[in-house]
Amino acid sequence: MTPRHPLTPGRAGTASAALALVLASAAAGSPVSAAGGEGGEVPQGTVVYRVTAQFTTAGRARALLLHPDSKKLYVGSDDLPETTQATESGLHVLEPADGKVRSTVSQAPGPTGTLGRRAVRQLVAPLPGDGAVFVYPLRGIGTAKDGDAAAAGAWVPGGPVTDAAPGPTASTVLVAQGSVLSEVDIATAAVKRSLTLEGGERFAYDRARGTVWFTDFGNRRTYRVDLASFTVTATVELPAGESSAGFTEVDPETGAVWVALDTSVVVHDAAGKPMGTVKGGAGADMPRAAGFDAATHEAFVVWQDPGDTSQPGSDGDGALTVHRTRDLKEAAAPVVLPGNHAQSGSAAVAVQPGGATVFVSDPAAGRITRLERSTSPRITRSPEDRTVAAGAEVALTAQAEGTPAPTVVWQVSADAGRTWQAVPGATSATYSFKAAAADNGRRYRAEFTNDAGVGRTAPATLTVTAADTTTGGTAPTTGGTSGTDAASGTSGTSGTSGTDGSTAADGGAGSAGGSAGSSVGGSGAAGSDGGASGATVGGAGTTPAGGALASTGTAVASLAGGALVLTAAGWVLVRRTRPRRTTG
């Protein structure tokens, strides 16, 4: 039982709130109320991402991959300009929780096979179990895993690799070398087939539909390539603009293609039909990376500031936005990424399946930001109005969902909800106390809090009635024959034997079976030597001892006219007679 709840200013401390909740009263049960609430600082169920860590252990991070099997965070990096003497280029393997470096693979083969320190510009695909396929300048395709002394790799013939994606088989990758799209063997870098398009340098592969979307930013169009035939099957025109090249990504769930142009993202469905445009960031921010999560049906877009304060709208800060893939609407509040600009290269993003954690790189600052998903409390059950007698035990309980699990504090209002004060010590899901007369009309609510915001239940009003006195009373000490008759409902009269208990020597013990004019017991005080049998059905007229029966106002004779015989258990009611006092 929690402490009483004086209306004391201040907020009590919080504790973890249980989410399996029940509403009950010791005096009587009541139905559980429906979900609801008065809201809080943000709408219930609002999703936000908050920064929980920043890692500066992997140089200038250019690419991120969260391995689906080993759960390790792979980072492709090159050197920061101000730390060229340090060995920061290469493939770094980090612990996702704290950024601790597990290992760094900095050596990879050059065009002649000679090992050398290589930067990693793009992570293409995870290897089974652990490790990654990656691209390193200028035409290298490499593979390595945690703990390797050096990467395996080969150089693709032709021009510099401008983009890459997993291939249609586990042993190949797709690469763009400007406007040339090729399928290349990972181990040897041998070109298996290729296609030259009209223009472009960035693309995305939709494995589920066997389609490649190859974007020609200069001509403001994207080409749909059927991978089985390696031919262009459609051309989709893009909105006119300044031709600022961003990313091309495909949502693996829906097949929609997302193309970053200037300061927006243009989205077409799997057939090339326009779905809409995504805006985000602030001012001149440019979309530079995107990731998708099939579990939440959401897209995560990283926006970078141009980094040129002479441009209108440039403030030096980037942003992370989250959008529903079905209708492109925001699914979470935007997160500002201070100092994230594009002067030192494009940012990268990696999304944990389920969207609980997101990693964003900041090449200019040489850091990786870890963000975690929080959901503001959503009230699923509010306490219900109660009516109890003074002195009865009351238990009020509320329910809320949220990530992380919200804490709770109960609040009370003595002015019909105009002002609220915390109940000291009431920091668990169920708040129990004894109702007092002074609590009548007070309102109670639970306030749930977590990192994403505050949610409050709908208030419950407590009505406190006078204490129940029907179970008390002073019972006569002896009973008589009339008491027995009263129990059986077969005798007792409204005459001198019980009508006036103040004068009758036997205390009106038979009045319960008397005329309807008497009220269960006698009208006066209990007889001085009335028996316990008389107390069972009525006792004193002032405080009947019959409890629940007496409080109903129902005559004892209504017990189906049956005689109540208490002999088998050894209860024998014997009328003790006394000489009747005669008058005058």
Within 10 angstroms of residue 41's Cβ, the number of other Cβ atoms is: 12
Looking at residue 243, its pLDDT comes to 63
- Phi, psi of 557, deg, nearest 5: -65, -10
Burial of 546 (0-12, 13-18, 19+ CB in 10 A): buried
Tell me: pLDDT of 76 over 70: yes
Task: Express each pLDDT in 500-536 by its tens digit.
Answer: 333 333 333 333 333 333 333 333 333 333 333 333 3
Looking at residue 310, its pLDDT comes to 83
Looking at residue 471, its pLDDT comes to 54
Q: Specify the higher pLDDT residue, 37 or 477.
A: 37
Return the half-sphere exposure (C-beta side, CA atoms, 13 A cut-off) of residue 523.
Answer: 12
Looking at residue 281, its pLDDT comes to 75
d(C-alpha 152, C-alpha 188), whole Å: 10
Looking at residue 340, its pLDDT comes to 96
Q: Which residue has the tokens 């790799």?
A: 153
Say if CB 174 and CB 212 are below 8 A apart. Answer: yes
d(C-alpha 481, C-alpha 499), whole Å: 16
Q: Are strands 386-389 and 460-465 parallel, antiparallel or unpaired?
A: parallel
Q: Per the structure block, which two tokens stand in for 522?
A: 């006698």
Return the half-sphere exposure (C-beta side, CA atoms, 13 A cut-off) of residue 55.
Answer: 26
Assign 172 a pLDDT band (cuts: 50, 70, 90): very high
Say if CB 176 and CB 162 are below 8 A apart. Answer: yes
Looking at residue 265, its pLDDT comes to 96
Task: Express each pLDDT in 567-577 by its tens digit.
Answer: 333 333 333 33
d(C-alpha 24, C-alpha 397), whole Å: 8
Q: Give the predicted TM-score (pTM) of the model.
A: 0.72
Q: Across the chain, how many H-helices and E-strands are there?
A: 3, 41
- Most confident range, picked from 13-22, 114-123, 499-508: 114-123
d(C-alpha 507, C-alpha 522), whole Å: 7
d(C-alpha 452, C-alpha 404), whole Å: 8
Tell me: pLDDT of 550 over 70: no
Looking at residue 386, its pLDDT comes to 97
Tell me: pLDDT of 565 over 50: no
Alpha-carbon radius of gyration of the chain? 41
Handedness of CA 40, 41, 46, 47 (dihedral sign): negative
Q: Strand pairing partners for 371?
A: 51, 358
Task: Express each pLDDT in 436-485 by its tens digit.
Answer: 999 999 999 999 999 999 999 999 999 999 986 665 444 433 343 333 33
